[in-house]
Amino acid sequence: MLPASIQITGELLSAAEVQDICESLKEDSVRLLSVRGCQVSDRDFGRICRSVAESCSLAQLNLNLGVVSSISRTRHLADALKTNRSLQTLFLHGSPLLDDGLVTLNPALSTHPALICLDLGDCMLGDEALSLICGMLPPDGAKSGLRELTLSANPGISSKGWTRLAIAVAHSSQLRVLNLDYNLLGDQIAGMLAVAVASSRTLEVLDLEGTGLTNQSAQVFLDMVENYPTSLRVLVLAENDISLELQQQICDLLSEGEDDDDRQAPPLQPGSASSNALLPIRDKYQPIRDKYHPPTWLPHSNSSPQMVLLASGLVLYFSGLPGHLAASSMVCSTCTKSRTE
């Protein structure tokens, strides 16, 4: 039986629907569960978390847009993560966790054996939470850590907190993607991040959209990619006070690096990639709308500094789901989203 995908957005979940979800999780027939923006009772949320704990098939869990709305729900989720061993991707974007919520989740997050992708965007985090997150980016030679981290729109984090993150990124042996968009970073923090990027041997994608940068930051990044070897392939600088000329120069240099890697990389062998691998879906939004980006560490194609085509395709398989869930429009077989800026 192929693993199922259950995706529900903005719905009021009935007890019967929650029961069907829980049964599917317990039967290990669900690989992706997304209930983003859904309303669910505290009792039913606890039931879902207990079923997540029992699941051996669940790889991706999307609780974006306020589903984890209280400290009691955070505790339920933490308990589930302590037992679950299969989850690779967790999305909590737009959940009012605060630092206390991260303190509650941290023991389970930092010791989970499979978790590699974490979205904590717009979670009202501060420096205490960021200090714990830095612990999920272990230095070279330590245990494996996160490959993708999203911290978009957390204005409570201070310059001191961002400086600590830059140090952690510089020494992380795993991180491929870092999304810091819509934080008030400024040129000073951007300069520290440039040093971190230059030090990192793995970071390929850095999103600094709408972070208060100027040409000063862009010039630092230009000098870095022009004069020093780096793994960076995508640098998002949209919605900053940066000239088109500098953006184009950076884009051209990064594109040259991609071309060189393509020429050096050995050809893929048939069947070498997993045919049912899940690509994460990240909610990245401004106050008036959701914005979707593909948070993968695969090369992107940027045709110009003002136009970044971002598309993610997710092939979702489902079979053997309980009756009305399988028949419902809330379960999708294919999801493809793109955005042009």
DSSP string, 131-162: HHHHTTSPBTTS----SEEE--S-TT--HHHH
Position 291 pLDDT exceeds 90: no
pLDDT for 5-22, tens place per residue? 999 999 999 999 999 999
Position 338 pLDDT exceeds 60: no
Residue 316 is predicted with a pLDDT of 34
Q: Residue 193: CA atoms inside 13 Å, Cβ hemisphere, count? A: 28
Classify residue 287 by burial, with Cβ atoms within 10 Å: 0-12, 13-18, 19+: exposed
Residue 303 DSSP symbol: E
pLDDT band at 256 (very low <50, low <70, confident <90, very high): confident
Contact 10, 38 (CB under 8 A): yes
pLDDT band at 138 (very low <50, low <70, confident <90, very high): confident
Residue 95 is predicted with a pLDDT of 96
- Indicate the domain borders of the chain: 1-124
**SS3 category, 87:** coil
Domain 1-124 = CATH 3.80.10.10: yes
**SS3 category, 265:** coil
Of 62-76, 161-175, 308-322, least confident by mean pLDDT is: 308-322
Give me the mean pLDDT over the 145-160 stretch: 96
Which pTM value belongs to this model? Answer: 0.79
Contact 50, 83 (CB under 8 A): no
Position 301 pLDDT exceeds 70: no
Residue 11 is predicted with a pLDDT of 95
pLDDT for 184-236, tens place per residue? 999 999 999 999 999 998 999 999 999 999 999 999 999 999 998 899 999 99
Position 322 pLDDT exceeds 60: no
Residue 160 is predicted with a pLDDT of 96
Position 271 pLDDT exceeds 60: no
In the chain, pLDDT over 90 holds for what percent of residues? 69
Mean per-residue pLDDT over the chain, rounded: 80
* Higher-scoring residue by pLDDT: 239, 267: 239
Give me the mean pLDDT over the 107-121 stretch: 95
229 C-beta neighbours (distance < 10 Å), count: 10
pLDDT for 162-192, tens place per residue? 999 999 999 887 899 999 999 999 999 999 9
- Identity at 111, one-letter amino acid code: T
Give me the mean pLDDT over the 228-254 stretch: 93
